């Protein structure tokens, strides 16, 4: 049985005594590398384990060896059992978020009573350091919309003149942000359900769960476990627990959360807000939560048009959630508006690619599950839908039933789209469905280069051609796959880029690109 618990309880700042602590770090990706590097700097004895013995990982291992790692073990043979650290049992395991609790090494650690932290837990414990400012944390989770909301939050904070950064599951690893020599006023921290699972002592200034839908059940073991890990976002929140007033599950999480005395529940809605909510009134984003006269008035924050020419409902919701977080910190309405106007949502998130002959072409490759795709589909009235991919066993029934009336046609791609095809056949029988085979069986034409495009890009080109054949003035061609991309593409970004290339390669006259 591990007996290091009392020592770990004292490790609540950078300046605590971490010297000689025996730690196994699992994973050498961005978060794992940052965790190992941090622990080495703190004086711990660190062994790093990763199943992949790639060239990239060997380069990272060399770096960690130079800075003082005790040992770096690469390859599958090392990831199935818990290694010793300097000849003795580990006192702590710090895991990368992708490693599931069922992974043999982590299961062995749990069975031995060895505490397991994630990189976020470690970052929280070392955030206070003598001589440096300690940043407040605004934390964000949800099945969909996390990255957009954390970006909006950081943009609003920066517009208020604060030194702030988006960190965590997006962009900068939170440990790198915590170790920044200048320090930050505020961190906008995106937390996945994986990271929350391995977090234990966070006490943020404000927190939000944007929404929940079935996802990552294979990792968590059940949907109930997934919800329980999402709900950890609210634990020990000090000022404001922000919830989605249009989804009862998130409000219930707040009601059941053990928070700091005085913490408020703040809702957000894309409709008319009640007291203590953020919402929309006559195309304006408004605040009825953080003003003294909230019983009979609201403070204007921004206009929906400030979000850009394509501002779907879920983007409005994300902006309201971000506003609720930064208002909890004290950011003024003018900075909320400026932050929205300055925000660049990035590629592959309801991205306008082109407008040709009255047809709007939208890339939402980031919509990797039905919940995200539903938000995209709800934004348009007559849709030629390009969908499909690696389904991960999700149920498409509700998605198809809800949005069948707006579908002009569906073009289905992917090697694992049987469930989607079945749902369309059963619940949208009047919607034409065109299936694009996974492989192009046509032989290369004489005179070709012999370097055909990757399979996924070839399939996407055919899907776009089929969509162009069907779409007419007033339609939207929406690529929102409701599935992961790894069956035919390197990533959702690769899939989105394939769509963009295919649309721009149509050559059907002049286009107005977005």
Give 107-161 as a DSSP string.
Answer: HHHHHTT--EEEHHHHHHHH---TTSPPPEEEEEE-SS-HHHHHHHHHHHHHHTT
**Residue 148 annotated as binding site:** yes
| Closest to 336 (Cα-Cα) out of 305, 300, 309 | 300
Exposure on the CB side of residue 503, measured as CA atoms within 13 A: 29
Q: Annotated binding residue at 250?
A: no
Task: For residue 142, say whether it is annotated as part of any ligand binding site.
Answer: yes
**146 marked ligand binding residue:** yes
DSSP string, 397-457: HHHHHHHGGGEEEEEE-SSB-HHHHHHHHHH-TTS-EEEPPSS--SPPPTT--S-PPPHHH
* 273: nearest Cα among 310, 316, 227: 316
144 is in an annotated binding site: yes
Q: Are 477 and 353 in contact (CB under 8 A)?
A: no
- Burial string for 286-307 (b: 16+ CB within 10 Å, else e) reads bbbbbeeebeeebbebbebebb
CA–CA separation, 21 vs 105, rounded Å?
19
Binding residue per annotation — 143? yes
- How many other C-beta atoms lie within 10 A of the C-beta of residue 514? 15
- DSSP assignment of 187-239 equals EEEE--HHHHHT------SEEEE----S--HHHHSSHHHHHHHHHGGGTT-SS
Binding-site residues for ATP: 142-148
Binding-site residues: 142-148
């Amino acid at each position: 049985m591990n007996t290091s618990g009392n020592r770990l309880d004292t490790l609540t700042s950078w300046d605590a005594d971490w010297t000689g602590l025996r730690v196994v770090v699992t994973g050498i990706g961005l978060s794992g590398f940052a965790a190992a590097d941090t622990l080495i700097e703190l004086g711990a004895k660190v062994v790093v384990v990763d199943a992949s013995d790639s060239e990239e990982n060997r380069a990272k291992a060399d770096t960690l060896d130079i800075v003082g790692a005790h040992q770096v073990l690469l390859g599958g043979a090392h990831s199935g059992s818990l290694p010793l650290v300097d000849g003795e049992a580990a006192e702590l395991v710090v895991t990368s978020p992708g490693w599931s609790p069922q992974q043999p090494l982590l299961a062995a650690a749990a069975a031995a009573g060895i505490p397991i932290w994630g990189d976020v837990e470690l970052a929280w414990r070392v955030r206070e350091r003598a001589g440096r400012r300690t940043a407040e944390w605004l934390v964000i989770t949800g099945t969909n919309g996390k990255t957009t909301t954390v970006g909006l939050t950081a943009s609003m904070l920066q517009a208020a003149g604060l030194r702030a950064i988006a960190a965590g599951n997006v962009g900068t690893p939170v440990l790198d942000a915590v170790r920044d020599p200048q320090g930050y006023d505020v961190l906008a921290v995106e937390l996945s359900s994986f990271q929350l699972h391995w977090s234990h002592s966070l006490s943020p200034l404000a927190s939000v769960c944007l929404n929940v839908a079935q996802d990552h059940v294979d990792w968590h073991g059940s949907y109930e476990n997934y919800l329980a890990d999402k709900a950890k976002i609210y634990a020990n929140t000090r000022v404001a627990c922000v919830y989605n007033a249009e989804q009862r599950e998130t409000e219930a999480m707040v009601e059941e959360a053990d928070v700091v005395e005085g913490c408020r529940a703040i809702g957000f809605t894309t409709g008319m807000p009640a007291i203590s909510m953020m919402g929309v009134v006559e195309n304006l984003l408004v605040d009825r939560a953080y003003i003294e006269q909230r019983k009979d008035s609201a403070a204007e924050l921004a206009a929906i048009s400030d979000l850009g020419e394509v501002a779907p409902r879920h983007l409005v919701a994300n902006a309201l959630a971000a506003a609720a977080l930064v208002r909890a910190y004290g950011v003024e309405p003018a900075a909320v508006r400026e932050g929205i106007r300055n925000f660049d949502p990035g590629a592959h998130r309801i991205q306008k690619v082109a407008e040709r002959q009255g047809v709007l072409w939208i890339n939402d490759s980031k919509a990797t599950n039905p919940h995200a795709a539903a938000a995209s589909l709800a934004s348009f009235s007559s849709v030629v839908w390009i969908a499909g991919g690696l389904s991960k066993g999700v149920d498409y029934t509700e998605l198809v039933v809800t949005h069948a009336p707006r579908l002009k046609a569906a073009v289905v791609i992917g090697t694992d789209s049987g469930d989607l095809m079945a749902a369309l056949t059963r619940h949208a029988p009047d919607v034409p469905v065109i299936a694009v085979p996974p492989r192009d069986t046509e032989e290369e034409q004489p005179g070709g280069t012999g370097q055909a495009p990757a399979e996924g890009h070839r399939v996407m080109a055919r899907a776009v051609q089929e969509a162009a054949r069907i779409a007419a003035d007033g339609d939207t061609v929406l690529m929102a796959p409701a599935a992961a991309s790894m069956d035919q593409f390197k990533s959702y970004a690769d899939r989105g880029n394939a769509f963009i290339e295919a649309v721009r390669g149509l050559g059907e006259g002049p286009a107005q690109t977005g």
